[in-house]
Homo-oligomer: A and B are copies of this chain.
Amino acid sequence: MPSIDVAGEFETIRRLFVPLAHPDYARGLMDDVAVLPSRSGFDLVLTKDAIVEGVHFLPNDPLDTVAQKLLRVNLSDLAAKGAEPFGYLLSCHWSERCGWPERGAFAAGLKADQKAFGVSLLGGDTVVTPGPATFTLTALGWVPKGRAVPRSGARPGDLVFVTGYIGDGWLGLQAAQEKLTLETERLIALVDHYRAPEPCLDFSIPVRDMATASVDVSDGLVADLGHIAAASRVGIVIDLEVTPRSLAGQAWFDTRVDEQAALEKLVTGGDDYEIAFTASPRDEAVLRREADRRHVPLTCIGKVTSGQGVTVRFAGQPVEIAAPGFTHG
């Protein structure tokens, strides 16, 4: 059952991926494997996420940003755990639209991000699929031994923080689908965020040092905080009004009549790739100082309680959230 061979597995690897290979661990991508030396005093943190055309990205998204989104959603998982990324393995399942120009764009997107985030390609494979283009990535990072931040460490009395802004992932999808009416500049910012979100690596070290539990916001803020609540066996209470909004998010919010409904959209939409975490109130001052120093917006959105689940409040009253987040089957 030979597949449609547009560009050739070996030729794709040689021309496009060998230049991206890690200088020490990837064996020039000639060996089917990566070989990674142990690093004394560190744990290796691994995460694996896939993106599928029509599910996680749009059929008309350019492939350079598809590659960047793939890499960044995985780096976001490492950032939330306090790990410093250094490499990744990649499976490309090219669809029929992926000829040389598209594959070249994909590799160019990776090249730019490798430089931006300090990572290199370790290995993987490339095949042609009769279905939608699909890409899977395994990202690797180092964290000092025993220091990877769990989901399970939140304690009653902790505060709940989130980096950056919430809702731009969902708004970006609406913008990319031409469902939003906003100034062009705002629309572009939202589409850019949807296509190539920024993983919050800049705040990874304070999270590692001070968070009691953390998660990256991918499914939706409420759903992801629910993961912390479940793993930590605590309750979490957040106030919708303090949901941090970007300039574009605020511009959209200002056009809404039903504030509560609008805020619910923002906190359930997902694809934000910010870090949501819990920390002791006694670390708040240091966290805020670190955030200022790194120019990372940091917002306290609620607190940890005894009990269970996530309680979302608006105007001080609990509100019911029908679908707290996005699920991928």
Contacts and interface: CB of A to CB of B under 8 A. Distances in A.
Contact of A129 (B2, B32, B134): B134
A44 B142 CA distance: 13
A311 interface: no
B39 A38 contact: yes
A247 to B, nearest CB: 25
A124 B52 CA distance: 15
Q: How many copies does the complex hold?
A: 2
Given A32-B77, A38-B41, A143-B35, A131 B130 contact: yes
A133 to B, nearest CB: 9
A180 interface: no
Contacts of A215: 32
Interface string A2-31: 111111111010000000000000010011
B46 A33 contact: yes
Contacts of A93: 50, 52, 134
A136 interface: yes
Interface residues of A, number: 78
Contacts of A145: 37-38
A44 B35 contact: yes
Given A34-B46, A46-B89, A173 B1 contact: yes
A9 B89 contact: no
Nearest to A132: B131
A42 B38 contact: yes
A299 interface: no
A45 B25 CA distance: 9
Interface string A75-93: 0011011010000011101
Contact of A150 (B31, B47, B89, B216): B31
A126 B329 contact: yes
A294 interface: no
